[in-house]
Structure 1
């Protein structure tokens, strides 16, 4: 198994004394916890990430610190998260898919109607804040000179890993699928609509957003005062930036503007080289030459671009294209047995109703291809390791 990750905690849902329902997996719940965290900490965005990672015990291993540097603060007994808030966040940074139920954990519904994974999103924000810092992590393993941590922590490393598993016949699906929420008003369970890959659509959405926001933070002279403000503006507000505002419902367009195929191909290849250096004894890399790793990277980028290019519509809850216009539109149900409900999603400066489908028996009973292990973004945040060979029963 290529650095797969075990669950930090069972999927527990709690209701805090202030009335916040932490079983509701919505971006508003995330920003609400962050607002409370930031109001107590009274620090900069860098300090918010540092303290959040410390409390969640994130980024304590070699891979994460190689890419992000020592982002965690010194051990402390001070806690800015309540127990329910800590459980809520630990569950969200632990991205995985349950084999039996097809439930994808570690994802939230956003105001624009799309679903995103939190682990690559937070990793990208951390990488963006750390990009201009000079402090490094001492290790015998050296980063490839052209590898950019912001790419590796969000999309490049996990994309390369997904296709490496496919190349070695340990996975039968490379990318996708999307899924359905059990409820739009109070989402708690997200079920995939088909055979899952190591990179479901929600993870790719979060990885794109992580790279976009990380780049924004690295280049912005005066970034938002709080991470919660950053997320609110990006996902449900007027967007980031004065001239050409960046909003989540235009993630593919903004991602394409930042990332060329050539650049992504180089970053995926470098990420695979780093993984091999860190896992020299892993059977996954037995006999793989540099040329074969380069071929895997080429295939990964070609298929990723074909499926998630700016020309393809970005999908929201249960396969419905995300709102990119000021007017509501109706969509055909992908499954004849699905029922409809109304999703109210924020668009630009107005609200509009969209027809979306709840999950149906046909979706839930889709054939499951077993792909064990968590994504590497989760791996870097969770730091719970198992060095057994990948491909047995587990989560993807």
Structure 2
């Protein structure tokens, strides 16, 4: 273990309140300065300091406990100094509950040919903004994160896509490990937790190497698991994710599977001991006119909904499904490209995943999560996302 002390350990604790006897699922509570987060939990993504189409009071009513924002995008606009001047992200976006910011590394590396890696950091062009050249070191990334002021921040890492050569993934593990050490030393804000990120692609030995390096370099209060849902299929992902989470991740630290929002992946991720999830899927698919449901994916561009007076999902208790909004009306809004259609579908989709995790948590507490998984796998929805 590193000599670097972690004063944040008194601000952030994780309590396990129940463990399922037939699976590796566990229910817990993550304590943060802005409130407690019950786990397992889905975290809606507010990339640019807003969950698209949903106001903070609406998020509260849906049951959201924690939201995400993105370091890369906010550092470009409006800039981390502006956010700090406005009192930090909580005041800036009027969300006074926990916030997590990712490092922005995934967005940086998605720039492909406009990105150049060195041991010291990463140089990239902001091709989706003004095209300027930027160089991020781990220290610079931590400076941005601390100015934004989220409760939880992620180390700068390299996320390799799939497929990738073993040598490429191994280099990403090495870089991510070196950068984790530097992020840990540079991060000094005591009211903010820094999570390390386990990389390694689909190679179990590299995953374990990454995890051991993180455990040796600092007392991280939690761990992200990166590099999944980057092109591989569901079965390939769980070949390494399942044993990693259930057998090797520290028991007393929250485990955050990054960038995953497929309902079936959430259900099975919890089965293997994952505590936290995030994804843009619920709001992005809503803007495309689609909804989660117990019947599977519903595409409201389809004319079969023209005369359908029923709710999106008769089993759903979200404000949209219980508020009298018919499938026919939502079909009409989607076809006419009215923004209210996207808003209603976003409210429903976000609630759907929040409620799925609420029900999963209750099943764990009642020691029946194995039954919960089997019941889910029998639904049409299980194989439709």
What TM-score, normalized to structure 2?
Answer: 0.27
Q: Which has the higher contact order (CA 8 A, sep 6+)?
A: 1
What TM-score, normalized to structure 1?
Answer: 0.26
